[in-house]
Amino acid sequence: MSTRIFNFSAGPAVLPESVLEEARDNLLSLGDTGIGVLEHSHRGPAMIEVFEEAERLCRKLAAIPDNYRVLFLQGGASTQFATIPMNFLDRNSTADYLVTGSWSKKAVQEAKMFGTVRIACNGADENFSRIPAERDFSESPAYVHFTSNNTIFGTQFPTEPIPPGDAPLVCDASSDIFSREIDVSKYGLIYAGAQKNLGPSGVTLVVIRDDLVERGAKEIPTMFQYRTHAQADSCYNTPPTFGVYLMKLVFQWILDQGGLAGVREINERKAGKLYSYLDESSLFRPTADPACRSRMNVTFVTGDPELDAQFVAFARDRRLDGLKGHRSVGGMRASIYNAFPEAGVEHLIETMREFEDLHSDAVSRSSKANA
Ligand SMILES: *Cc1c(COP(=O)(O)O)cnc(C)c1O
């Protein structure tokens, strides 16, 4: 068996080893059913129990109030970009979007197909290195949409934006869901593709308030109505059973870490170590505004794209994979989701020190040669 390395991938991303081991043990037979977890019917008692347990653990983890539904859907967060306006927006209404990165831009693009979009703030001018404090909401938007963590630019909302009036707050929480405590009652709808913090790709978690399920449009295809999935307990058609099974194991794993408060503390410590090193480094520089730095995706540069590429290769040789920044921003990105081990963060810091020493050596040698 090959040994595992430290995987900084932005998604699909590292999963807890104990979860993978348990899944492996159940591939050939889920418990003592004699049927593998991938092979069970979604209508059979064993898989129904998996779904019920996944929902129960999810509710427990985030103290989800009774007037919210927990849905396990397909199509990724990107399908939600369209499903949300399809349900809640029409030609006569406006939805407000906080544009804080590439994913919120994509969400806007979809919403524009269904109604009017008001850009309540836009961080594009500063290349999304900061979450703008100024907000320009419309009077009574159908909803207010924001992206709690900007996976590509490494920024994160420290707290939720406050929508005007009683407009429902809609959140793309794909890359920081369940990485810290969350007050679900502040939201109308929260969604997340699983592949960053919750499980494998192929399943999308949606937490939606009852009145929004009812408010959703009826003249849209059945699969795009939240009502359909709420009424059928996420089993209207064949759901992503393996994804939900794995999510169930991840929910239990988070509970074992001390729940959301427990993982938040660990995440603060991991990101804190990394940022303090970056702040004092003479070679590397973090790119996000300190007031809204992400604890999930830490973005940094040397200032020299060639040196960045050298470092990514240098780190790769030391069992640190996936540090290349997103193609749209360059530099480096360390994605350190819940399941990313603290030892990997420490190894990254040591590796950056080593590279920095080598580099300053080279700098002083060349300056001596020039003298
Ligand atoms: C990864 C990501 C997405 C896209 O998710 P898919 O499941 O691939 O559609 C959307 N929003 C955010 C914040 C992300 O990090």
Q: Compute, in angstroms, the gap from residue 151 CA to the centroid of ligand 1.
A: 8
Catalytic residue flag (residue 103): yes
Backbone angles phi, psi at 27, to 5 degrees: -65, -40
Q: Compute, in angstroms, the gap from residue 193 CA to the centroid of ligand 1.
A: 6
List the catalytic residue out of 66, 166, 176, 196: 196
In ligand 1, which atom is closest to the CA atom of 195? 7
**The whole model's pTM is what?**
0.96
Q: Which of 193, 192, 199 is nearest to 171 (CA)?
A: 192
Ligand 1: residues with CB < 6 A are 11, 76-78, 103, 147, 151, 172, 174-175, 193, 196
In angstroms, the CA 218 to CA 228 distance is: 10
What is the DSSP secondary-structure string of 146-213? Answer: EESEETTTTEE-SS----STTPPEEEE-TTTTTSS---GGG-SEEEEETTTTTSSTT-EEEEEEHHHH
Q: CB-based contacts of 116: which residues, under 8 Å, 6+ apart?
A: 89, 91, 93, 94, 95
Distances from the Cα of 77 to the Cα of 11, 53, 174, 190, angstroms: 12, 23, 7, 10
List the catalytic residue out of 103, 248, 270, 324: 103
In ligand 1, which atom is closest to the CA atom of 175? 15
Q: What distance separates the 2 farthest-apart alpha carbons in the chain?
A: 78
Write the single-letter amino acid at 202. G
Catalytic residue flag (residue 196): yes
Q: What is the pLDDT of residue 123?
A: 97
Write the single-letter amino acid at 139. E
Ligand 1 atom 8: the closest Cα is on which residue?
Answer: 76
Q: Compute, in angstroms, the gap from residue 81 CA to the centroid of ligand 1.
A: 10
In angstroms, the CA 239 to CA 59 distance is: 19
Q: What one-character DSSP code corresponds to residue 325?
A: P
Q: Compute, in angstroms, the gap from residue 79 CA to the centroid of ligand 1.
A: 10
Residue to mutate (ligand 1; options 98, 152, 174; most atoms within 8 A of CB): 174
In ligand 1, which atom is closest to the CA atom of 103? 11
Catalytic residue flag (residue 172): yes
pLDDT, one tens digit for every residue, the chain (371 residues): 569 999 999 999 999 999 999 999 999 999 999 999 999 999 999 999 999 999 999 999 999 999 999 999 999 999 999 999 999 999 999 999 999 999 999 999 999 999 999 999 999 999 999 999 999 999 999 999 999 999 999 999 999 999 999 999 999 999 999 999 999 999 999 999 999 999 999 999 999 999 999 999 999 999 999 999 999 999 999 999 999 999 999 999 999 999 999 999 999 999 999 999 999 999 999 999 999 999 999 999 999 999 999 999 999 999 999 999 998 889 999 999 999 999 999 999 999 999 999 997 655 544 444 44
